[in-house]
Chains A and B, each alone.
Chain A
Amino acid sequence: MTTKTAGILALFDYLDDVEAALETIKGRPEFKDHILYSHTSYHELVHHAEERYGPSQVRWFTLTGALTGATTGFWLPILCDLDFPLIVGGKTPAFSSLPPNLIFIFELFVLFGALATILGMLWLGRLGNPHARILDNRLMDDKFGIFVPGARVDGEEASLLKSQGAFEIKKTS
């Protein structure tokens, strides 16, 4: 039985080698499902992700959360005042005082926006998966990796990646 992680992992030492390899495999059907691994977020590689996956949709989570927060911050004091008009300084408010409400609008805008951003990062990045496993510990250290599902160590994909500077090709299962 083949698993999602069955295939080959090409390990690279150098950033420019990975960039060159990505250019080479771009558009080739046998590399359609490749996954790139990096130990940090070099802009060159994130740019590659943007080309491949399009702009990150996290922004919509942020916007939705922030607007929900602002709306909540607007209505919370008003509804509370309507429910129980608190007399301050001998004055019963005919309607909630709006200037101080700006603070709640702002604070909940930021709070809900931040929470939604985190949710977006988790959801879209497929995080929170307890079964996720790292293909090679060196990928967290200082190496880059290109994983090609379904490929073989002695296959054409492996020799192409090798020719682009991969210092090791390993089988993953």
Chain B
Amino acid sequence: MSDTVQWDKTISDVNEGILKGVEGRPHPTYYIALAFALTLLITGVVSWGLIATFGIGLSGKSSPVYWGTFITDFVFWVGIGHAGTLISAILFLFRAKWRNSINRSAEAMTVFAVITAGLFPLIHMGRVWNGFWTLPLPNTNNMWVNFRSPLLWDVFAISTYLTVSLLFWYMGLVPDIASLRDRVKGFKRFVYGILSLGWTGNIRQWHHYETGYGFLAALSTPLVLSVHSIVSWDFAMALQPGWHTTIFPPYFVAGAILSGCAMVYNLVVPVRKMFRLEGFIKEEHLEACLKLTLLTSTIVAYAYAIEFFIAWYSGSYYEWAIFRGRATGPYSFYFWTMTFCNCVFPLLLWSRKIRYNTPVAMVICFLINIGMWFERYNIVISSLAEDFLPGSWGHYEPSIIDMCMTFGSFGWFFTWFLIFTKFFPFVSMSELKLIMPKPLRRKPTH
């Protein structure tokens, strides 16, 4: 794909053009975005402070719905993290050249999204400071964690995913940090010097780096599929109608990649403008990301349809009642919002004209993210609110605190992401050079 990209820059422009944003001042909109993110973050921190002080009762959870928006947020943010590894690892192994211009931002998104996701189970438990109880650590009660619980599988899956994503992201950054180290002075040089690990770019380093990077990609690839599968088992292993289905793992993975790709687009387009990176992240690369979004949207639409079909075809009264209830009951607003946002609006991306119309594509991707949040809300809440026994049914609405925590999570995520864009190269310079025309004296004849 990148073979057909018309580059108006050469490899000599790469370091200068990309590091200009790190060394200089970004567009003023960057500071507006950062201020907005910080405001959201403060909202979240204050809300969490209230929960820590007055108790978890401030959230809207009550019988029978004890998994509310915190678990919705958890699943949503883990999902966001998926596209990063897909783009950086799977597309690397498939040699998809277009990923080289956006893989850095996608990896950063993964790391910050998984960190955000990891906060929510702890917040959900109420006493965050006891979070380490979820780990298999020796303790005075001489008791171990339950290795047969999907919740513990999640602890291992998420912590492994975070660690591997972090390593993958950091190793990719090392050659670029070394470039930065050699351009700055004083304290910055000292810090970037430590972070660059003494990288000099000699061929021995590249040799082992390339091999190691390939292995990291190979190890990360099954993680893309396994992490959200394991998250889906949190639900699918329960007997709750609407949850206990075998389609959940692939359905969750496809949804995660859909939301992740949409978020990559929503992040890359503004930052590309703020740091004047249009010459390096080309329209064609963004279009490829939208094509992936469209593909996963059709998979998600298929999964929605199959879920309904199986609920009816299985003959299970409870299953069918839940699905009918989702479309027509008290949570139907969420259901139809998710259907339109995830399955209907993305169909516009079949049009090439729309894929190249950045504002319209931004709106579609934004709607997909809203739709994916509602999808998780729909799954978590509707099945818990109305299960087998009508006598135990209830209704759930998120409290103000719940909503503030959700907005706060966006603030937390965007704050970290924006800080990253200011201090580190937003585009992987060493990898970008590989998809640009090679510096050859004798021009290739073919």
Measuring CB to CB, which residues of chain A are less than 8 angstroms from any residue of chain B? 13-17, 35-42, 45-46, 48-50, 52-53, 55-59, 62, 66, 76-77, 80-81, 83-84, 86, 88, 96-97, 100-101, 103-104, 106-108, 110-111, 113-115, 117-118, 120-122, 124-135, 137, 139-142, 165
Given contacts A40-B430, A41-B209, A56-B211, contact A115 B201 (CB under 8 A): no
In the complex, how many angstroms separate the beta carbon of B207 from the nearest chain A beta carbon?
4
Decide: B433 and A117 in contact? CB cutoff 8 A.
Answer: no
A83 to B144, CA, bound (A): 8
What are 20 A-B pairs with beta-carbon distances under 8 A?
A: A13-B441, A39-B201, A39-B430, A41-B434, A58-B215, A59-B215, A84-B143, A108-B156, A114-B163, A115-B167, A117-B219, A121-B211, A125-B205, A125-B208, A126-B204, A127-B197, A128-B198, A129-B197, A132-B200, A141-B179
- Chain A residue with minimal CB distance to B155? A107
Nearest-Cβ distance from residue B230 to partner chain A, whole angstroms: 7
Contact A110 B160 (CB under 8 A): yes
**B351: CB under 8 A from chain A?**
no
* CB pair A81 B209 closer than 8 Å: no
Q: Quick one: closest A residue to B213, CB to CB?
A: A121
Let me know if B199 is at the binding interface, CB within 8 A: yes
Identity of the chain A residue whose Cβ is nearest the Cβ of B15 in the assembled complex = A141
Chain B nearest Cβ from A40, distance in angstroms: 4
The answer for the CA separation of A56 and B212 in the assembled complex, in Å, is 9
Taken together as a complex, chains A and B put the C-alpha atoms of A155 and B167 apart, in Å, by 44
If A35-B204, A126-B198 are given as contacts, then 9 extra A-B residue pairs at C-beta distance below 8 Å, sorted by A number, are A16-B442, A39-B11, A52-B203, A80-B147, A88-B148, A113-B215, A114-B220, A140-B182, A142-B433
Q: Which residues of A contact B204 (CB under 8 A)?
A: 35, 49, 53, 124-126
Q: A122 — nearest CB in chain B belongs to which residue? A: B197
**Contact call A113/B219, Cβ cutoff below 8 A:** yes
- Cα A30 to Cα B251 in complex, Å, equals 61
Which residues of the partner chain A approach B167 to less than 8 Å between Cβ atoms? 114-115, 118
Report the tally of A-B residue pairs with Cβ distances under 8 A.
205
Chain A hits for B143, CB < 8 A: 84, 86
Chain A residues positioned under 8 Å from B49 (CB to CB): none
Q: Are A110's CB and B164's CB within 8 A?
A: yes
Which residues of B sit under 8 angstroms from A133, Cβ to Cβ? 200
A80 vs B210: C-alpha distance in the bound complex, in angstroms?
39
With the chains together, A66 CA to B215 CA distance in Å? 11
B168 partner residues in chain A, CB cutoff 8 A: 114
Say yes or no: is B250 at the interface (Cβ < 8 Å to chain A): no
Given the contacts A15-B438, A117-B215, A56 and B208 also touching, CB distance less than 8 Å: yes
The closest CB in chain B to the CB of A131 belongs to: B198
Q: CB of B12 within 8 A of chain A?
A: yes
Question: In the bound complex, how far is the Cα of B204 from the Cα of A9, in angstroms?
Answer: 17
Q: Are B200 and A134 neighbours in the complex by a CB distance under 8 Å?
A: yes
Which residues on A sit within 8 Å (CB–CB) of B430? 39-41
Question: In the complex, which residues of chain A have a beta carbon less than 8 angstroms from the beta carbon of B222?
Answer: 106, 110
Query: Do A13 and B439 contact each other (CB < 8 Å), given the known contacts A40-B434, A118-B212?
Result: yes
Whether A107 lies near B160 (C-beta < 8 A) is yes
| Chain B residues closer than 8 Å to A17, beta-carbon distance | 441
Q: Is B253 an interface residue (CB 8 A)?
A: no
Q: How far is the CA of A161 from the CA of B220 in the complex (A)?
A: 42
Closest to A104 in B: B156
A100 pairs with B198, CB closer than 8 A: no
Q: Which of B145-175 contact A (CB under 8 A)?
A: 145-148, 153, 156-157, 160, 163-164, 167-168, 171, 174-175
Contact assessment for B144 and A84 in the assembled complex, using a CB-CB cutoff below 8 Å:
yes
Q: Are B206 and A38 in contact (CB under 8 A)?
A: yes
* B341 part of interface (Cβ distance < 8 Å): no
B165-199 CB mask vs A (1 if < 8 Å, else 0) is: 00110010011001100110000000001100111
A41 touches B438 (CB 8 A): no
Report B111 CB to chain A, min CB distance, Å: 14
Kindly state whether residue B136 has any CB partner on chain A within 8 Å: yes
A134 adjacent to B178 (CB under 8 Å):
yes
- Could you tell me the distance between the alpha carbons of A110 and B175 in the complex, rounded to whole angstroms? 24
Q: Which chain A residues border B215 with CB–CB below 8 Å?
A: 58-59, 62, 113, 117
B1-45 vs A: 1/0 string, CB under 8 Å?
000000000111011100000000000000000000000000000
Complex Cα gap A13–B438 (Å): 11
Least CB distance from B60 to A in Å reads: 30
A42, B434: Cβ atoms closer than 8 Å: yes
Using Cβ atoms and an 8 Å threshold, which residues of chain B touch A121?
171, 208-209, 211-212
